[in-house]
Structure 1
Amino acid sequence: MKLGDFLSKELIIPELSARTKKAVLAELVAAVHSVQPELDETHVLDVLLEREALGTTGIGDGIAIPHGKIAELESVLVVVGRSAEGVEFDALDFEPCKIFFLVLAPEKVAGVHLRVLAHISRMLKEEDFRQQFLSASEDELKALLFEA
């Protein structure tokens, strides 16, 4: 499995402008809307906020992996964002998040959704990958993600 199979260059945000949890989610969703304008941004954001209400997707080490299922989607989509400053995201370790991977999946495709989440988790466990992610230029970041 390659992350690039679920990603496009338009879905990589090298520097998020958002400074709050809800604003980060909205910025990530706006990127989705740019490639799939038929999706209702408000609905997608509501799905993510409902998921966050169940428990944070800020998993620690500066990482958040918000995710949700959207009936209107045909295939899994991944949006990647980076925040040099970090954003308070209610992370499990109480530290700001700098690395964001949004995973959206069709409601009927559980297997692929879980494999994508597992693949992202494995990548992000590697300290070298996280450091490269945070220090890469925009072009280097895109290359890193499409190779992953």
Structure 2
Amino acid sequence: MIKFTELLKPENIRQGLICSSKKRLFEIITQVIADQIQLENAEQLCFECLLSREKIGNSGLGNGIAMPKARIPEGNQPLAVFIHLDSPVDYESADHRDVDLILAILVPEKLCESYISELPKIAEKFSDKTLCKQLRNAQNADEIWQIFKYADQLSMQDAIEQDSEEATNETA
């Protein structure tokens, strides 16, 4: 299972941002990671990738959270950006709730097959109500990073316990 801290870098976390729209949010996401992508016009390219993927289906997960994603043509690893908005924006989510927590994931095309099955698991982990409450209460990017690290540790412990339980059941 992929960890938040494998996708996200501390420098890609923004807390308390003010944003006026979903489009502006996508612009902010691309500004955060443009320097990390070795492509000409990286900012514009990433923005267009996010926008075209969003046209296929809304990335709102409900309860004020969204996980926009996109394929980017180049790169050696997926990139993620986490944003906690100061005030929620209209995201046209299925539950009609404005969004304030965003985890954007951009995956290089050559890695899409290996990550496609992981995205629903990441979305499920990101949708955890306790995690969202902690992220909303965080005061700065460092706290957010620590919350993601702790969530990864809990996920690993759960996976180990589940493996142990399955092994016990198989020998019984």
Settle same-fold status: TM greater than 0.5. Answer: yes
For residue 10 of structure 1, give the secondary structure of its aligned residue in structure 2: strand
- In structure 2, stretches of 5+ residues that fail to align are 153-172
**CA shift at 1:113, angstroms?**
2.4
Matched residue, 2:33: 32
Q: Does the CA-based 8 Å contact 1:87-1:97 persist in structure 2?
A: yes
**CA shift at 1:116, angstroms?**
4.3
Q: 1:131 to 1:25 in 2, by over 3 A?
A: same
Matched residue, 1:42: 44
| In the alignment, structure 1 residue 19 sits paired with structure 2 residue 24 | no
For residue 95 of structure 2, give the secondary structure of its aligned residue in structure 1: coil
RMSD: 1.7
Q: Structure 2 residue aligned with 1:144, among 138, 143, 147?
A: 147
Q: Distance in 1 between matches of 2:65 and 2:121?
A: 14
Counterpart residue type for residue 146 of structure 1: K
> How many percent of aligned residue pairs carry the same amino acid?
24
Q: Deviations over 1:24-46 (max 9, x none)?
A: 01101111114336461101101
Moved more, 108-117 or 45-54: 108-117
| In the alignment, structure 1 residue 69 sits paired with structure 2 residue 71 | yes
Structure possessing the higher radius of gyration over alpha carbons: 2
Q: Structure 2 residue aligned with 1:114, among 113, 116, 122?
A: 116
Counterpart residue type for residue 97 of structure 1: V
Q: TM-score, normalised by structure 2?
A: 0.79
Q: Distance in 1 between matches of 2:17 and 2:112?
A: 29
Q: Structure 1: which 4+ aligned runs deviate by more than 3 Å?
A: 34-39
- In structure 1, stretches of 5+ residues that fail to align are none
* Bigger helix share: 2
Q: TM-score, normalised by structure 1?
A: 0.90
| In the alignment, structure 1 residue 9 sits paired with structure 2 residue 10 | yes
Q: Distance in 2 between matches of 1:125 and 1:47?
A: 23
